[in-house]
Amino acid sequence: MIFIVLEFKSFYKQPTGNNELSKCKYLTRLDTYGCGCSHNCSYCYAKSLLDFRNLWNPLNPRVADINKIEKTINKIEPGTVVRLGGMTDCFQVFENAYRVTYKTIQLLNKRRIHYLIVTKSDMVASDKYLEILDKELAHIQISITSTDDKTALKYEKAPSTSRRIAAIEKIDSLGYDVQLRLSPFIPELIDFDILNSINCNRILVEFLRVNTFIKRWFTEIDFDKYTLKQSNYLHLPLEEKIKQIEKITGFKELTVCEDVTEHYNYWRDKVNPNKDDCCNLQFESQELRQVA
């Protein structure tokens, strides 16, 4: 089958000034691919928002135009943190063909703009990318959802968990700002002995939130414990979350990214190392001003 490459036009999103309620510090987002992700995870929020409008195609996502990305980047203030991969994975398999993320990172380096990479791929740890990832600018979060390769493959078509763990350990050993992102954290899919033996100093945890689409697609777990409703999503109650977080013991720093307001306040006050930044990013150079 031959696919036509469609352009992804809305690749850049900036805070609008109306984000007082947002808990996320890094709202500037640049997606090199859109309207589809080859990993096609059953619990994907972006997919749950786009699929019913026929705007989600995991086999042929839209591709952002690098010339337009360059023009946009030239207007971003140096020191800003731009999130790469907010709505799709910027290291999904199509990056091998188009290399838009690669070229974007080069442009961000040139302008001294920080980039927060969130990915379920080990591609970011390949030699080709390590050559261009700038230790002062790159903040890398590699996600896993299960400690078992076969289980994860049932609901996400991404590189295996073992490959992702190897990538995390490699990047951590090289001294980058890297976190194992346990996202979404679904306790029954985790062997805590395996998790706690991963060689990475820092972990970020984000619990699963469930809407009707995710409930329908994600058949590997049951949702009986997801009894708390907020903003059209179901969540685990805080007591259950605390119980599960206590099983994560193998990391020097643990931070929780949270959606439910009362839970967010709890993690911020009792658990997170940086009260102002639940992403807990590390910045080497204080000269570079962060513009969240």
Site residues (vs ligand SF4, CB under 6 A): 37, 39-41, 44, 46-47, 88-89, 120, 156
Cβ distance to ligand SF4 smaller for residue 89 or 172: 89
CB of 153 to ligand SF4, least distance (A): 13
CB of 87 to ligand SF4, least distance (A): 6
**Which among 177, 185, 160 is positioned nearest to 263, based on CA atoms?**
185
CB of 198 to ligand SF4, least distance (A): 19
Cβ distance to ligand SF4 smaller for residue 38 or 250: 38
Q: What angle do CA 123, 128, 131 make, to 5 degrees?
A: 120
Quote the radius of gyration of the chain (alpha carbons, Å). 18
| In contact, 248 and 204? CB cutoff 8 Å | no
Cβ distance to ligand SF4 smaller for residue 41 or 195: 41
Residues shown for the chain: 292
Cβ distance to ligand SF4 smaller for residue 47 or 241: 47
* 3-class secondary structure, 140: strand
CB atoms within 10 A of CB 213: 17
CB of 163 to ligand SF4, least distance (A): 14
CB of 216 to ligand SF4, least distance (A): 16
Distance CA 107, CA 207 (A): 33
**Which among 211, 223, 209 is positioned nearest to 263, based on CA atoms?**
209
CB of 223 to ligand SF4, least distance (A): 18
Distance CA 14, CA 186 (A): 30
Cβ distance to ligand SF4 smaller for residue 46 or 245: 46
CB of 187 to ligand SF4, least distance (A): 18
Sheet holding 253-257: strands in order across? 12-13, 29-30, 81-84, 114-119, 138-144, 177-185, 202-207, 253-257
Cβ distance to ligand SF4 smaller for residue 32 or 40: 40
CB of 282 to ligand SF4, least distance (A): 23
Cβ distance to ligand SF4 smaller for residue 54 or 286: 54
* 3-class secondary structure, 252: coil
- Cβ burial 254-275 (10 Å sphere, 16+ → b, else e): bbbbbebeebbebbbeeebeee
Cβ distance to ligand SF4 smaller for residue 209 or 268: 209
* 3-class secondary structure, 207: strand
- Token readout for 4 is 């036509």
